[in-house]
Amino acid sequence: MGQPVGVRPSPSAHYITGSTGILRIIKVTPLEITVISIDDCTQEVSFTLTKEDFVPHFERAYIKAQPTIEIKGFRKGKVPLSIIKQRFGRQIEQESIMDIADVEFRSYTRNNNVKVVGQPELRDLKPGEDGSMTYVIRFGIIPEFEVASYEGLELKKPVSKVSDEDVQKIIDEILLKAASSESAESIEDAKYNVTIRFTKVDDETGEPLEGLEPQENTIFLEHPDLDGFLRDALIGKKVGDTVTYMDKTEGEENPDRFEVTILSAEKIVPATLDEEFVKKYSRGALTTIAELEQSVRDYNNRMLEDEAKKEMEIQVVDIMTSKHDFQVPDQIVHEVMHGMFDNFKKQQGPAAADMKLSDLEGMFKPYAEQTARWELIRERIIEKEGITLEEQDLIPYVQHYRAQTGMTDNQILTQLMKDNRFLGSILAGKVMEKILSMATVTEVDPEAYFAEKDMEAMVQQMQDTAEATSSSKAKPAKSTSKTAKPKTEKSKEAKASSKTKKSDDAEEKPKKKSTKSKSAGE
């Protein structure tokens, strides 16, 4: 039999299940259709086609097959339908049986405005003695529910402002990124690039371990991730000196011992902050030191405001999903869960190459279920509020792509309108703006706010660890909100991320210095 476009045959298609569900019968000319509700998210529809009902379907199947049929005496595709019916009729009819199920099912969903979730499944196919055929198809649906009130939600907004100290720290980083270097024989402070040789030695004898080659690295002593013990051991030393360094890895009782020899040193000289530097750095957008300081302040305050907004959006999702307990279709939950898992594997890199979703399903499912629930709630709000895409919603994107690609506005719009995920994200943003505009917002201290979230996340992580099975290879850290997809926890610096960002008016945004094996300015 042929495979239908939308209906998937079930391995157990020889029997019908769910016969104890809620039954209703509807008339869809010329078929009588029976619908059983298996649960809030699943229905089963059965319809019977008489021998006469099949005739137009078979005729279309003959015509569809005609171009591919070859018989001696006729050109390919030119065999008369009467001969096709005589020679291949039974085979074509049998192969079209499944296609007919798809056609009739699509007709049913279209005529009854049924929104199908996932792939329909053919559960049974029962031929009648009179040439009729009864199809039984199970499919997922969006559950019916009333949207709870989303007006006046009580939200907390962690409010921060960039201080003068923050601005100076960022500008210092900008100057350091543009620094020059000069060879040095001694190390006076932390603003040095130092090339060193690590030699692992025996704890008792102090002799180099056999079979281990020494390793050379260039490090920037002011790098925030550098071990402070190593930094302190090198400052005040000269090229050629050797110091002892104990690599005190957390959790290890016996740290590795190294002899560290200074091979060379470069003094890092930050750029001079003057108006000439400001003009060069900003490509002429700024002219004075005061303008640079204000630009840095404004940009990072915007970042803080964006982060505060994201925190409130997380609260909105938590509150709204807690107000609804309807059943979420498994098909949607699994789709969301697979997306989360794929993102998680990308974040983890090669270490997660062999990881399977089944290993972490218990960890991801609560997040996926909440995300899916919110998506359904959001769709209902869009319908209720009559939220639609408007021309002004697309203008910023058109302007961006016009500058990036050189495409015409019509070309850009054509491409954007094909991207359903992109269009959906705009509608989702408009829903959130609507809810936030009606919310009751209380400004709170960010340190206290994030400390509370950290505590809740730690408690949740302890609970997850206690429940996790020994077979799990890795576990994503949970945050307080299930809305936050599984990922590693943010550091305190990351939670005030804008305090380490640069001005968007600048020539470039210096990246954070990399690991201790990198030098300043790389």
The per-type count for the chain, helices as H runs and strands as E runs, is: 13, 13
pLDDT per residue as tens digits for the range 325-356 = 999 999 999 999 999 999 999 998 888 888 89
Core vs surface per residue 349-364: b (16+ CB within 10 A) or e? eeebeebebebbeebb
Q: Please name which of 418, 422, 423, 332 lies closest in space to residue 375, comparing C-alpha atoms.
A: 332
| Inter-helix orientation angle 409-418/420-437, to 10° | 80
Is residue 195 within 8 A of residue 216, CB to CB? The reply is: yes
Please compute the mean of the pLDDT values over residues 428-452 and round it to a whole number: 95
> Which one has a higher pLDDT value, 323 or 496?
323
Structure letter (DSSP) for residue 351:
G
pLDDT above 80 (res 492): no
Most confident of 307-311, 455-459, 501-505: 307-311
Query: Apex CA 75: angle with CA 71 and CA 79, to 5°?
Result: 55
* Other beta carbons less than 10 A from residue 229's beta carbon: 12
Residues near 380 by beta carbon (within 8 Å), at least 6 away in sequence: 145, 147
pTM of the model: 0.71
* Other beta carbons less than 10 A from residue 311's beta carbon: 22
CA dihedral for 320, 326, 327, 331, sign (positive or negative): negative
Copy the structure tokens of residue 185.
């024989």
Round the average pLDDT of the chain to a whole number and report it.
83
Q: Please name which of 147, 121, 97, 99 lies closest in space to residue 38, comparing C-alpha atoms.
A: 121
pLDDT for residue 507:
39
pLDDT per residue as tens digits for the range 127-171 = 888 888 898 999 999 999 999 999 999 999 999 999 999 999 999
pLDDT per residue as tens digits for the range 57-106 = 888 888 888 888 888 888 888 888 888 888 888 888 778 878 888 888 99
Please report which confidence band the pLDDT of residue 249 belongs to, taking 50, 70 and 90 as the band edges: low
Domains of the chain: 8-141 (3.30.70.1050), 180-269 (3.10.50.30), 285-387+423-500 (no CATH)
Please compute the mean of the pLDDT values over residues 492-510 and round it to a whole number: 38
